[in-house]
Every structure is written in structure tokens, then in C-alpha cells.
Amino acid sequence: MSAAEAEPTLIGSVQRALRLVDIVANSPRPMPVKTLSSVTGLTPGTTYNLVRTLIHEGYLANEPDGLVLGTRFPAFQSETDARGVFLARVRAALRTVTDELGATAYLSRYHDGEMHLVDIVDAVRNPRIELWVGLDASAHATALGKQILADLSDEERLDYLARHRLEELTPRTISDRRTLLTQLEHSPGFALDQEEYAIGNTCVAVPVIAPNVMASLAISIPSEHLVDRALVTRMQQTARRLSLQLGADALDRTGAAPDFSI
């Protein structure tokens, strides 16, 4: 066999397309096409053509703020902690909530002892709250943070609160540690922030729990809007689907129906 015959035949366009998918799969945020072009050194025209094909085949999906992985990406069929897969699943869940409820949707995650805001999908008529204090310093005053605090073990919860001050962000913020702990210990399966982070806004959060994932999905609405059983139920259904996609067991983790008293 000659040296030429021994050399594999490589298709450059396939290599370039796979590189684009790999970059998106490992990005913690949606990736704009222009950024992909810059990172890879490909011309904008080539990048757009490759991306268009990858979207058509379902390996990428286009969001307003950039590209995420599509549902045809192989890792969607198995358990994985790839950042791009996690983000794509989160984005799809948040978009479902935003489209169904007309409210801006958020997802936070507990990792390495801290709270992190993962993603936001804005609703046109109810834009996001101005995030003037980061989640790392406002978990006690947000539904996003309180839901995770309620899901932590007693030891983890006390450790977190020992390391973070309960700042009074509004006159309605719970800044007393004992009062907050009592509320968290009697969580009804969802969390409320009633003008505790921002006057005029109420937030509702529900748990997203899977192997190596402790997170909460939330929406923000004007305070005059009613938080009722139907709204919480729809959020819990989406959160449960996301938990299953992230590897949760099909059985409910408590086996009991949630208490919807507000």
C-alpha cells in the first residue's frame, strides 16, 4: 500500500462543522455566530453556511442571544454534565415557561457551596427584574435562592447562612436568621419572594433536582398578579421534565403531593 493510500481522506467542511458544535457544546452561554467566526478564524460566510446546515439537521438551535445545542446532539440521549447540553436543556425549559406564562423565567444552581444564576429568558411584556444585587449576596431575599436553601440539608443550609449576611434589600426582606430558617423548614414545595428583592415584583420558584444538580426555576411577575395553584403546578411540571432530562429518577423524590397553600 502506498503512502497516499494509507493517508485517510478527510473532509474539511465536516471537520469545521464538528469544531463549531464542539465549541457550542463547551460554552457556558449561548454563542453568537459572529463570535464563532472570530474564535475559529472562519469567514462569516462559511460560518453562517455551516451553522445553517447544523440548525437544519438539529445539531444546533438558534436563540435570540446565540446558538445552543439542538436536540439531535448525541449527548441528549444519555446522561451528561457537558455545559452546552445543560444550558440547552435549561434554555428550552425556560422558554417553555416564558411562552406559557408570559413571564420572564430564571434558573439558578447550587455548586461548590454557592448560588449561581445560570440563565434568563425574557418575556416581552414582563421584562426581567434589574439584578442590582448578585445571587451570591441575595439568596435569602430571592425565590431562586430560597428554594435551593430549602432543598439543602440542615448542615449545608446552616453553613451557607453562616457565610452570607442577610442584608435588608427592601423593607420586606427577611433579615432575621431564625425567621428565615423557620420559613425554609416549612417550605410547601415552592418558594416565594414577595417584594423581598425588588418592590413591585413577586417571584415564584420550584425545585429542579437531578444527580449532581440542585437548582431552582423561577418567574418574576408584578406584585398585583395572583400566585395561584395553577401557575405553580405548570411551573412544577416544566421543572420536573427538566429534572428528568438531567437524569432524575422517574419517581417523585418525596412521593407526596406538594402543598399549594400560599
Do the Cβ atoms of 201 and 195 come closer than 8 Å?
yes
Q: How is residue 35 written as a grid cell?
A: 463570535
Q: How is residue 1 written as a grid cell?
A: 500500500
109-159 pLDDT, tens per residue? 999 999 999 999 999 888 888 888 999 899 999 999 999 999 999 999 999
CB within 8 Å of 63: residues ≥ 6 apart: 30, 91, 95
User: What distance in Å separates the CA atoms of residue 86 and residue 46, rounded to the nearest whole number?
Assistant: 27
Return the H-helix or E-strand segment holding 4: helix 3-6
Angle between helices 177-185 and 154-163 (to 10 degrees): 150
68-95 pLDDT, tens per residue? 888 776 554 444 456 677 888 888 899 8
Residue 250 has pLDDT above 80, yes or no: no
CA distances (Å), origin 7, targets 3, 4, 10, 12, 17: 6, 5, 9, 14, 21
Q: Which domains does the chain have, with CATH numbers?
A: 3-75 (1.10.10.10), 79-245 (3.30.450.40)
Total Cβ atoms within 10 A of residue 168: 14
Note the pLDDT of residue 60: 87
Total Cβ atoms within 10 A of residue 122: 16
Note the pLDDT of residue 248: 80
Residue 261 has pLDDT above 50, yes or no: no
- Closest of 89, 95, 72, 78 to residue 17, by C-alpha: 72
Q: How is residue 177 written as a grid cell?
A: 436568621
15-69 pLDDT, tens per residue? 888 888 888 887 778 889 999 999 899 999 999 999 999 988 888 888 888 888 8
CB within 8 Å of 207: residues ≥ 6 apart: 147, 148, 150, 151, 189, 190, 214, 215, 216, 217, 239, 243
CA distances (Å), origin 8, targets 1, 13, 77: 13, 15, 30
Mean pLDDT score, 214-228: 92
Note the pLDDT of residue 257: 40
Q: Which residues of 25-44 are buried (b: 16+ CB within 10 A; e: fewer)?
A: bebeebbebebbbeeeebee
Mean pLDDT score, 179-184: 96
| Strand 114-121 with 191-194, pairing | unpaired
